[in-house]
Amino acid sequence: MATVTLTKDNLEDVIKPDNMVVVDFWADWCEPCKTFGPTFEKVSEQHPDVTFAKVDVEAEMELAQSFGVRSIPTVAILRDRVVLFNQAGALPESDLESVVTQGKGVDMAEVHAEIARQQQAGGDGSAA
């Protein structure tokens, strides 16, 4: 599957309650981002059931800040609008493949129940 460009304008259309999204936060001037790009594309082709999106942090500073991006590249994985993974650094292909597979295997009913418990206890059960 081809990657999509994620912006604040299409965020709601891309990050839907019933899907998984892998996001690459990058910038054109970032050499590690350029190196990671082909890896991101390759793994995206292996998971046609997952949306792979790229955020240009220069054009979408507000969106990057909302995800807590402090350095790039950063990879985030969301399912059902919940951030399951958010890590800075260019991941090797095997690691990216592993976190995507792990994300698919997460019991989201359990995650939503834990978020509800945290919210009831006054904790921060933040979701995207």
Tell me yes or no: is domain 4-120 CATH 3.40.30.10.
yes
Q: What is the pLDDT of residue 127?
A: 53
Whether the pTM exceeds 0.75: the reply is yes
Q: What is the pLDDT of residue 51?
A: 95
Q: What is the pLDDT of residue 105?
A: 94
pLDDT along the chain (128 residues), means of 10: 88 88 97 96 95 96 94 96 94 96 93 90 62
Buried b (16+ CB within 10 A) or exposed e, 92-108: eeeebbebbeebeebee
Which helix H or strand E contains 76, and what residues bound it?
strand 74-79
Is 33 annotated as catalytic?
A: yes
Catalytic residue among 30, 53, 72, 90: 30
Angle between helices 93-105 and 31-45 (to 10 degrees): 50
- Smallest CA-to-CA distance from 55 within 82, 84, 81, 28 is with 28
Catalytic residue among 20, 21, 33, 91: 33
From CA 37, how far away is CA 46, in angstroms rounded?
Answer: 15
Domain ranges of the chain: 4-120
Q: What is the pLDDT of residue 90?
A: 94
